[in-house]
Structure 1
Amino acid sequence: MRLTRATTALLTVVAVTLLACGSGGGDTLGPGAQGGDSAPAKGEKKILLEVTGAKSADITYGLGTDQSQEQGAKVPWKKELTSSEALLIVTLLAQNKGSGTIGCKITIDGEVVKENTSKGEFAVVTCNN
């Protein structure tokens, strides 16, 4: 197979673009995650996400339209987020990596706003505020 200069240039641009997009240099803490234990700024809401139950779980969580995932996360699991959004949409989904009971809880500014449990092999639980 013989490649022309244009084809070679196009393949090079595609390869560089794919490498740049997959470099992972962005925010890896997840939506709204903070790097330390600092208190939220004025007007910000403090959000605590929790998953309890089995030894490990696949967890997906989000704040607004931003979603993050942790595969095989050790349970019990907690994630603290902050947000100054007027309309706060928080989601939490977890799936057991075996059998038993798995639970989720969303707490906003110290008040539990949603709590749920599921039972069974590879059970899935969801919490949305």
Structure 2
Amino acid sequence: MWGTAPSGALGPLDITYGSDSDNRQGKWNGHEFTATLPLDEEALYYSVTAQLQGSGDINCSVTIDGETEKGHASGGYNICTAQANAGLLGGWD
């Protein structure tokens, strides 16, 4: 996750990331957030979401096995979401 996201009335950017069975809280360092998780072959999806706190412009992404899903949010209390889903025949969509 990268971009500009100043702290708002509710505090800093609110980040949640993980899989369908493992959710975690992320910490924005003022310019970016990066996390690496071990791959759970039984996971249905991996995702990252971040809610702006009144202003900002951010991009987010999830990359698994070279496949990247991206999202974007700008202004207000909008939410950036990116999710990689396990494919029915293997791999990630």
What TM-score, normalized by structure 1, do the two folds share? 0.51
How far the C-alpha of 1:93 sits from its partner, in A, is 0.5
Higher CA-based Rg: 1
Q: 1:127 aligns with which of 79, 82, 88?
A: 82
- Measure the CA separation in 2 of the matches of 1:70 and 1:107: 16
Letter in 2 for 1:120: G
- CA-to-partner distance for each residue in 1:16-68, whole Å, 9 max, x for gaps? xxxxxxxxxxxxxxxxxxxxxxxxxxxxxxxxxxx111245210011231101
Larger strand proportion of the pair = 2
Larger helix proportion of the pair = 1
Where in structure 1 are there 5+ consecutive unaligned residues?
1-50
Question: Highest relative contact order (Cα 8 Å, sep 6+), 1 or 2?
Answer: 2
CA RMSD of aligned residues (A): 1.9
Q: Is the 8 A contact 2:2 2:32 kept in 1?
A: yes
- Measure the CA separation in 1 of the matches of 2:49 and 2:40: 22
SS in 2 for 1:79: coil
Letter in 1 for 2:15: I
The yes-or-no answer on 1:60 pairing with 2:47 is no
- CA-to-partner distance for each residue in 1:63-104, whole Å, 9 max, x for gaps? 231101135x21311101121414441011001234121111
- Give the total of aligned pairs: 77
- Measure the CA separation in 2 of the matches of 1:101 and 1:59: 14
Where in structure 2 are there 5+ consecutive unaligned residues?
6-11, 85-93
SS in 2 for 1:83: coil
How far the C-alpha of 1:115 sits from its partner, in A, is 0.4
Q: 1:116 aligns with which of 52, 71, 81?
A: 71
The yes-or-no answer on 1:104 pairing with 2:65 is no
